[in-house]
Structure 1
Amino acid sequence: MKSKKDFLYGVLVGVLGVVLFSSKAVMVKLAYNYQADAISLLLLRMLFSFPFYLAILYNYRNTKTDITIVKKDYLWIIFFGFVGYYLASYFDFVGLTYIKASLERIILFLYPTLVILLNKIFFKQPITRIQALAIILTYLGVVITFWDEVAISGASSYLGGFFILLSAITYASYLVGSGWLIPKFGVIKFTSYAMLVSCFCVFIHYLIISNVNLFSFSWQVYVYGFLIALFATVIPSFLVSTSIKMISSSNFAIVAGIGPISTIILAAIFLNETLTLLQFFGALVVILGILLVSIKKSK
C-alpha cells in the first residue's frame, strides 16, 4: 500500500514528466519553420536519444527485480516499444504538420480516458460513474475545440486531428502495457529497452521510406532535435515510468491532464498561438473531466 507521501511524490514526478513531454510539440513546430520534415525530425530525436539509453541500460544491466522474467516478456517489450514511442511519436509528428501545437495537445490528452477504457477491457478494472462522466466530458471538450479549429483552419485539420488521435490511442496502449511490465524489469531497464526498440524502428523507417538528406538542414534543426531528445524524450520517459510505478498507469493518466495547460502556455509564449473563446472552453471541459477523476482518486 502506497503512503500518502509516496503517492504525492509520484504525482509530482508525473507532472514534471508530462510538462517536459508537452514541450516536444512546441519544439517540433519551431523546427518545422526551418523546413524540417516529420520523419527526419523524429530520426534526429532518436539518434540523439540512442546513446543516452544505451549508456543507462549498460550501467543498470545487472539490476534485477524479485519477479521472474520469461522470454514472452521481452516480446511484449518489443511490441510496446514499437507501439508506444515509435508509432505514437510518428503519428504525433505527422499530425503537427497540419494543426497547432495547443490543439494537438488537447486531442492527444484523450489518452487518460483511453487508458481507463483499455484497463477495463484487458484487465477488467471497473469504470466508476465518476470515471464515466469524466470520459464523456473529455470527449465533449475535444469535439468542441476541434470543430472550432476546422472552421478556422479548414479541412486539413481533420487529417491532423486523425493522426493525433491515433497517437493518443497508441500511447495509451503503451501506458497500460508499461504498468504491467515495469514491476518485472524495473523502471530503468524497461524504459531503456522500450526506447531502444523505438529507436531501431525509426532508423529502419527512415532507411526504407525517407529520401531526405539528413545533413541538409540548418543548424537550428539539429539543436531542436537534441533538445527534443534530451528534455522531451530521455528525461521525461524515466520520470513517467517512475510515476507509473508509484501511482499506477490509471492514476498517471489522470495526472497527465496538466499536459494541455502546459502546452497552451508554452505555445502562447514561443509560437504566438492563441485559442478562441470556444476552443478555450473546450480545453476547460477536457481538463474538468480529468480533474474530476483526479479529485475522486485523491479522496
Structure 2
Amino acid sequence: MKSLSTTSTQTLLGYGLAALAAIGFSAKTILVKLAYVQAVDAVTLLALRMAFSVPFFLIVAFQQRGPAARPSLTARDYWVVGVLGLLGYYLSSLLDFTGLQYISAGLERLILFLYPTLVLAMSALWLKKPFGFRELTAVLLSYSGIALVFVGELDGGGDTLWLGAAYVFAGTVSYALYLLGAGQAIARLGAMRFTAYAMLVACAASILQFVLTHPPEALLLPMPVYQLSLAMAIVSTVLPVFMLSAAIRRIGSGHASLVGTIGPVSTLLMAAVFLGEPMTLWQVGGAALVLMGVLSLSVR
C-alpha cells in the first residue's frame, strides 16, 4: 500500500509540475507585453531575459561536466548544439518577441502552439513519416482555429496584425526545426545537459546582438523593465525547463505534452486579467479548434 501511495503521489506531482511548467512558459507572453508598455525594443528585452538566465544555465552546465559526463562532446556535438541553440532558443525567441509588438497575447500563443503540426509536416516531407487522415484532420482543425481568431482581430489590427502574425509564425517554424533536430542530440547528451548548452548558445547570441546594435545608453531603462526581464528569466525560462524535465521523469513525455495543452488557455485568461485583452467568442472558438487539433496528435 505504501508503494502504491508513493507512486500515486509521484504521478500527481508529475502532472502538477507539467501544469506549472505550461503556465510558466505561457506567462512569458504576458510579461513581454507588460514590458513593451515601458518603450523597450525586442532585441534589448531578449538580451536582458537571456542575461538574467545565464547564471542558472551555467550552474547546470558546470554540473554536467567532468568524468561522470558521458559521452564526451565531439566536434559534431558542439556544432549541433550551436545550430539548434540558435534555431530553437535565439531565433525563435527573437521573432516571437518582435511579433508580440503587433499582435495580442492570445493570438501569439495560439500561433506558437501550432509547432506540433509543423513538426508533423516536416517529418512527412523530409523523413518520410506517415501522414494520414488523423494527421490531416489535426492540421485542418488547428489552422481553422487560427483563422477564426485572426478574422476576429482583423478590425483592430490592419497591416500590423499580418506583420506580427508573420513574425510569430516564422518563430514557430524555427522552433519546429529545432525540435526536428533535437531528438537525437537529447538522446545522446541527455535533456538537461543539452538544454543548458543550447540555452547558453542562445544567451550569447542574444547578448552579442544587443552589444553590436545598441549603445550602452540603451540599458538606461525604467526599473519595471528589469523586474519583468528577471521574472521572464526565472518564471518563464529557468523554472519551467526544470519543472518540465521533472514532470517527464514522473509521467512520461506523452502525458506531459497533454498537460501542456493548457498553455494557450492560461494565456487567454492571464491576458484578460493582466492586460485587459477581451476574451471574445472568436478567441474561445479558435482556441478550442487548435486544442482539438493538437490533442488529436498528442493522444496518439
Aligned to 2:137: 133
- Structure 1 residues without counterparts, runs of 5 or longer: none
Counterpart of 2:133 in structure 1: which amino acid? R
Aligned to 1:79: 83
Q: Distance in 1 between matches of 2:246 and 2:190?
A: 9
Report matched runs for 1:40-59 at 5 Å: 40-59=44-63
Which has the larger displacement, 153-162 or 169-178?
Answer: 169-178
Aligned to 2:28: 24
Q: Does 1:195 align with 2:199?
A: yes
Question: CA contact under 8 A between 1:187 and 1:242: conserved in structure 2?
Answer: no
Q: Does 1:181 align with 2:203?
A: no
Q: Deviations over 1:225-257 (max 9, x none)?
A: 100001111122334456678745x87666543
Q: TM-score, normalised by structure 1?
A: 0.88
Question: CA contact under 8 A between 2:106 and 2:283: conserved in structure 1?
Answer: no
Aligned to 2:214: 210
Q: Structure 1 residue 140: deviation in Å?
A: 1.0
Q: Does 1:114 align with 2:118?
A: yes
Question: CA contact under 8 A between 1:10 and 1:243: conserved in structure 2?
Answer: yes
- Structure 2 residues without counterparts, runs of 5 or longer: 1-6
Counterpart of 2:69 in structure 1: which amino acid? K
Aligned to 1:169: 173
Aligned to 1:271: 275
Q: Structure 1 residue 133: deviation in Å?
A: 0.7
Q: Distance in 1 between matches of 2:75 and 2:14?
A: 30
Q: TM-score, normalised by structure 2?
A: 0.87
Q: Structure 1 residue 183: deviation in Å?
A: 1.7
Aligned to 1:287: 291
Q: Distance in 1 between matches of 2:256 and 2:120?
A: 11
Q: Deviations over 1:82-131 (max 9, x none)?
A: 01010010001100100111111011111121122233334443234222
Q: Deviations over 1:108-167 (max 9, x none)?
A: 111121122233334443234222211110011111111221222222100000001011
Q: SS of the counterpart of 2:219?
A: coil
Aligned residues: 291
Distance change >3 Å, CA 214–CA 241, structure 1 → 2:
farther
Q: Distance in 1 between matches of 2:257 and 2:182?
A: 12
Q: Structure 1 residue 194: deviation in Å?
A: 0.2
Superposition RMSD on alpha carbons, in Å? 2.6
Q: Distance in 1 between matches of 2:282 and 2:225?
A: 34
Question: CA contact under 8 A between 2:25 and 2:236: conserved in structure 1?
Answer: yes
Q: Distance in 2 between matches of 1:69 and 1:120?
A: 30
Counterpart of 1:20 in structure 2: which amino acid? G
